Chains A and B, each alone.
Chain A
Amino acid sequence: MSENIYSEIIVAIFLLIGTIFSFLSAIGLIRLPDVYTRAHAVSKSASLGVLCTLFGAFLFFLIADGYFSIRLILGIFFVFLTSPVVAHLLNRAAYRSNVELAKESVQDDLKEFLGGNEK
C-alpha cells in the first residue's frame, strides 16, 4: 500500500480534475446566454471531464489490479472522437432552424451563406 501512495495520489488528482470540469460545464450550461455558448461550454469541458475520469479509472485498475482495460482506452478514444461532432451537429441544427444568437454577439459570418435561403 505504501509504495502505491504516489500513484493513488495521481489517480485521485485525475478523478478530481474530471469532477471539477464536469461541474464547471454544468455551471456553464446554466449561466451562459444562448444555445451556441452553452454548447461551447458543455462539449469541451464535459468531454474533458469524462476523459479525465475514465483515464483515472484506467490508471486505478492498472496500478491496483495490474489489469490493462482496453475497454476504457476504447471508451476514451470514442468519447474524444464523437463528443465534438455531437456539439457540431447540435449547433448546426440550431443555426439552420434560425435560433437567435445572444444579444451581445457582434458578427454573424454564416448569415450571407445560410441566412437567405432558409427563411
Chain B
Amino acid sequence: MKPNDVILHSVTKAAVVIILTFSIYLFFGGHHNPGGGFIGGLSTASGLVLLYLAFDIETVRTNIPIDFKKVAGFGVLLAIMTGFGSIFFDVPFLSQTFGHFDLPIFGETELATAVLFDVGVALAVIGTAITIILSISEDG
C-alpha cells in the first residue's frame, strides 16, 4: 500500500516558499547584516533538499531540470571572473568597488561588485551541497 503523504506535501509547498524567500533575504542582507553568499546558498540548498525529501528525486528532477555540477562550476567561474575583472581597471586582483545608482523601483540603491562575487559563492555552495546529497542518495 502506497503511503499517503498529503500533509507532508502540502506543508512542504508552503515551507519551501518561506525558506527560499528567507535565503534570498539572507543573501542580499549579507553586506550590512549577518548573512551572505555562503549561508544564503546553504539555506537555498536546504529548501531544495526538503523538496527532494518530500517528493521523490525524479519528480523534482523533471520540474527543476538543472545539472547542479554545472551550477557549482559556473559559480566558481563567476567568482574568478569578478576577480579578473578588476585587472582591466588597472587595480590588483579581487579589488572591489561600489556606487550609488538611481534605480526605477528601488530608488537610490548602493550596488557593489562584491555582490557578483557573492553570487559565485552562493552558486558554488548550492551546486556542491545538492551534488553531494544527490550522489550519496542514489543507488549504485
Flag if A81 contacts B15 (CB, 8 Å). yes
Interface string of A29-45 (1 = CB under 8 A from B): 00000000000000000
Interface residue from A77, A85, A92 paired with B11 (Cβ < 8 Å): A85
Let me know if A61 is at the binding interface, CB within 8 A: no
Let me know if A82 is at the binding interface, CB within 8 A: yes
Let me know if A74 is at the binding interface, CB within 8 A: yes
Number of B positions contacting A (CB below 8 A): 9
Let me know if B14 is at the binding interface, CB within 8 A: yes
Interface string of B1-37 (1 = CB under 8 A from A): 1010001100100110010001000000000000000
Flag if B18 contacts A77 (CB, 8 Å). yes
Question: Shortest distance in angstroms between B80's beta carbon and chain A's nearest beta carbon?
Answer: 33
Flag if B1 contacts A85 (CB, 8 Å). no
- Contact A81-B11, Cβ < 8 Å, known A74-B18, A74-B22: yes
Give the dominant DSSP class at A's interface.
Answer: helix
Q: Which residue of B is nearest A93, CB measured?
A: B3
- Contact A81-B8, Cβ < 8 Å, known A74-B22, A117-B1: no
Question: Shortest distance in angstroms between B4's beta carbon and chain A's nearest beta carbon?
Answer: 10
Question: Shortest distance in angstroms between A111's beta carbon and chain B's nearest beta carbon?
Answer: 14
A71 to B18, CA, bound (A): 11
Q: Which residues on B sit within 8 Å (CB–CB) of A74?
A: 18, 22
- Contact A89-B8, Cβ < 8 Å, known A74-B22, A117-B1: yes
Question: Shortest distance in angstroms between B53's beta carbon and chain A's nearest beta carbon?
Answer: 10
Q: Which residue of A is nearest B21, CB measured?
A: A74
A76 to B5, CA, bound (A): 24
Q: Other CB < 8 Å A-B pairs besides A81-B14, A81-B15, 13 of them?
A: A71-B22, A74-B22, A78-B15, A78-B18, A81-B11, A81-B18, A82-B11, A82-B15, A85-B7, A85-B11, A89-B8, A96-B3, A117-B1
17 A-B residue pairs with CB within 8 Å: A71-B22, A74-B18, A74-B22, A77-B18, A78-B18, A81-B11, A81-B15, A81-B18, A82-B15, A85-B7, A85-B8, A85-B11, A88-B7, A89-B8, A92-B3, A96-B3, A117-B1
- A residues near B (Cβ < 8 Å) are 71, 74, 77-78, 81-82, 85, 88-89, 92, 96, 117
